[in-house]
Amino acid sequence: MTNIGVDQVMTVTGPIDPSELGVTLMHEHLYIDLFKISGRYDAAGMIDDDDLIAEEVSLFKAEGGRSIVELTLPGIGRAPERLKAISERTGVQIVMGSGWYREPYYPAEDRIDRRTVDDIATELIDEIENGWRDTGIRPGVIGEIGIDKNWVSAQEERVLRACGRAQVATGLYLNTHAVRGGGLAQLAVLLEEGVDLSRVVIGHADSYPLLDYHLGILDAGATVAFDNIGDPRLHEGRVLRLLLDLLERGFREQIVLSHDVCYDHSLTAYGGKGYVYLQREFIPKLIEAGVGEDTVQVMTVDNPRRLITRRGRSTRIPR
Ligand SMILES: [Zn+2]
């Protein structure tokens, strides 16, 4: 059992020095399947094709990309060993997520409704310290921890508290999933658990491009994720204007960028924007709008490195 020290970064192939992270996509999916839950009509999910995914990841590398944070969780298709294989095959470093996604997708066998917050937290801390089951593959982030709607359900609150306690115990950063304004409610719970909000990323903040919502998150010290870049359901002009406004207000150290690829039609092979739209098209638009290269570097390299690098004490749980 290798101990990951504080100030280290954990990838699916083992610990690396934070300086090796380079250009990092902060919220992507290589394997994901939300289709299997009855009574829901969200068809997010991607074809189970290792060769195709390796090709798509290699395109990102060809654009200068070095690392991908993969936030698929158990219950929606997390595949630790396949992530490791893709990483070895492509040379792109992959940071794996951990925790529970949102209530409809909690695996029944995890019995979230019947366990204490501390019991759930202990399970997560054990995985962070010792790896997923007997694979030895360890997560490098807690997330994406979601809410299904824009409020926190009772079970989701239990999970969020447990993840907050695991964050405090391990020093990993925590990435949420929040659409239509749910991020502030998540922050309130995490704050009660003693989480340092500078270690929290509110996911999908660009799905709710209202200035006050973003300022609320930023003023609390958390990071906003513009992680649906390239999604045709987004009004890109509006998102771009908000991003430029936040940069002008001096928040560049609290912004990260990604695509959240989670559909076949998101892949370049299916006519989508893949893991490359940021590098190929969106960043050039930022530059054209007057954003400096240094600011791009802060959002795509420095902020990911600061967040992914483990901080605080390491709690070892012997098995
Ligand atoms: Zn996601």
pTM of the shown model: 0.96
Residue 74 to residue 127: CA distance in whole angstroms:
12
Q: Tens-of-pLDDT digits for all 319 residues of the chain?
A: 344 566 799 999 999 999 999 999 999 999 999 988 888 877 789 989 999 999 999 999 999 999 999 999 999 999 999 999 999 999 999 999 999 999 999 999 999 999 999 999 999 999 999 999 999 999 999 999 999 999 999 999 999 999 999 999 999 999 999 999 999 999 999 999 999 999 999 999 999 999 999 999 999 999 999 999 999 889 999 999 999 999 999 999 999 999 999 999 999 999 999 999 999 999 999 999 999 999 999 999 999 999 999 986 545 554 5
What is the pLDDT, as a whole number, of residue 313?
Answer: 55
Instruction: Return the H-helix or E-strand segment holding 306.
Output: helix 303-308
What is the pLDDT, as a whole number, of residue 5?
Answer: 60
* 26 CA to centre of ligand 1 in angstroms: 10
| Closest residue by Cα to residue 67 from 313, 269, 303, 264 | 303
- Among left, alpha and beta (phi > 0; psi -120 to 50; other), residue 260 is left
CB 22 within 8 A of CB 67: yes
Helices (H), 154-289: 154-170, 183-192, 211-219, 236-248, 277, 283-288
* 259 CA to centre of ligand 1 in angstroms: 9
Both tokens of residue 119? 């019991």
What is the pLDDT, as a whole number, of residue 35?
Answer: 86
Query: What does the pLDDT look like over 92-138, one tens digit per residue?
Result: 999 999 999 999 999 999 999 999 999 999 999 999 999 999 999 99
Residue 60 to residue 275: CA distance in whole angstroms:
6
* 58 CA to centre of ligand 1 in angstroms: 20
* 45 CA to centre of ligand 1 in angstroms: 11
* 174 CA to centre of ligand 1 in angstroms: 13
- Strand arrangement of the beta sheet that strand 223-226 belongs to: 142-146, 174-177, 200-202, 223-226, 255-257
* 28 CA to centre of ligand 1 in angstroms: 6
* 25 CA to centre of ligand 1 in angstroms: 12
* 245 CA to centre of ligand 1 in angstroms: 25
What is the pLDDT, as a whole number, of residue 1?
Answer: 39
Which domains does the chain possess?
9-308 (3.20.20.140)
- Among left, alpha and beta (phi > 0; psi -120 to 50; other), residue 230 is left
Q: How many helices (H) and strands (E) does the chain have?
A: 11, 10
